[in-house]
Structure 1
Amino acid sequence: MNKPWSEKLHDVSEEVHRALQKLQQIEEETGLTIEQVKDINRRMSIGEAKARRAKKEMVEANLRLVISIAKKYTNRGLQFLDLIQEGNIGLMKAVDKFEYRRGYKFSTYATWWIRQAITRSIADQARTIRIPVHMIETINKLNRISRQMLQEMGREPTPEELAERMLMPEDKIRKVLKIAKEPISMETPIGDDEDSHLGDFIEDTTLELPLDSATTESLRAATHDVLAGLTAREAKVLRMRFGIDMNTDHTLEEVGKQFDVTRERIRQIEAKALRKLRHPSRSEVLRSFLDD
């Protein structure tokens, strides 16, 4: 049965009243009039549209760079068009992350991202030769959940914690972790004729590019500045736990022995220090160095 017009009008009146209250709340919280808020929103929309067009033009202007790099990786197990597609993904990531104020040449910066996208795809192709598809899916899911839990807890989850989150037996989690960490042989045959090997086209990571060297040095200095804002104990705990300025990282138990306290106490100190680092005044210093 349809509502009478009086009831419908009452419903509409209530909606209008709620909308007016919301507008009044926005004005009070921002200190701006609705017209000013609308103007800011309009200008933001225009700016975002211009940014999207600029990114699109930048990608299109560098498509030849992708093709020239992709040509060097033909006959490695992926079709040429697939190589270009992967390279384009790397190019788009480079456009998103490029900061012209640092004075780097874009083509040099983009080349690294394009190569990384292509070689990673080829490495994934090589890995599927040895690992069943269902296991690849499980590994990908485990990696994704592990990253989520790292963000939530500020540390890597244990196999037991992963098992609980993924609703899987702990022994299976340990098996998947072991498989995921198994190195791919550099002698793995690649290509239809198997006349080349994975090691032939994986970039030599022992050679640091000038751009990478400058970024590493900047990151080191920024890390030191951020840690300087912690107590001496908190800073040393993080240095030992994450291997900062050290050859390796250390377990909670190892750090506990260094300070003559329990591993649980070290966990508490670490958690407190990480909470401090998440404060915008500190986290923003390091955010520009993130890859993902």
Structure 2
Amino acid sequence: MDKNLQNYYDQIKKIPLLNFEEELALSERIQQGDATARKSLIEANLRLVIKIAHSYMTADMPFMDIIQEGNLGLMHAAEKYDYRKRVRFSTYASWWIRQYIVRSLSTKRRDIRLPLRKEQTLRMIQRSYHTLSQTLMHKPSNKEIAADIGVSEKEVNFILQITNGFISLDMDTGKDESISMADLHEDYTYSPERDFFKKSSHAVAIHFLDRLKDREKRILMYRYQFNGNEHTLKKIGDKMGLSAETVRQIEIKALKKMQGSADEFRKCLYVEAM
């Protein structure tokens, strides 16, 4: 191992890790402009960067450079982390660390500078890939991407080949862990803040559903996709041994009960989203 890298390892191992409450307290101080708290939060999570950076080891870029890019992502995450969302900092920071590493790798691996039109097409391919991944619930093929952005599949293949060393969107590469095209391009379609708000909303809703009778709660969870796909009245009835009409009546009754807590629900949701 490189001597400088070993020295870096030895230094950060001495920094104690933080528990959840300590992270939240530091975040509150950071939002008040406390630079010392920001430094403490960053230093306590430098080992997280190394752990993530190992997934992106490549001959194209020195490992220490990859770590430094991840550290930039960590610093950005420390600024944006909000203690009021009550999520572990490592969960939040991991996304930003990966994004900074990925952006750097993508830039370093670009051996050929594209004409403006093809550069624009590449950005369309990137956006389409991430959008289709979420809407189709699988990795889109080059053909699906071509159809989405209105160019030929041949054009998509060509641009990906000259910009990423003949790596296809459908191909995985890497030694220790698979690195797909999703890893090689920055994803602008995802926001950690939006994801955490969604999770918080779900948690608050479950809290209020717990006030209902078990049968009422189960029906609302089936009807409003808390357990995955939305269920029809008949399908719920079959699961619970009830008629579709009985399910409908129970749903109406449960919703009326929920309406009585609507103001309280909104207040709780607002606090979670702050």
User: TM-score, structure 1 length as denominator?
Assistant: 0.39
- Larger gyration radius, structure 1 or structure 2: 1
For CA contacts below 8 A with separation 6 or more, give which structure has more relative contact order.
2
User: TM-score, structure 2 length as denominator?
Assistant: 0.41
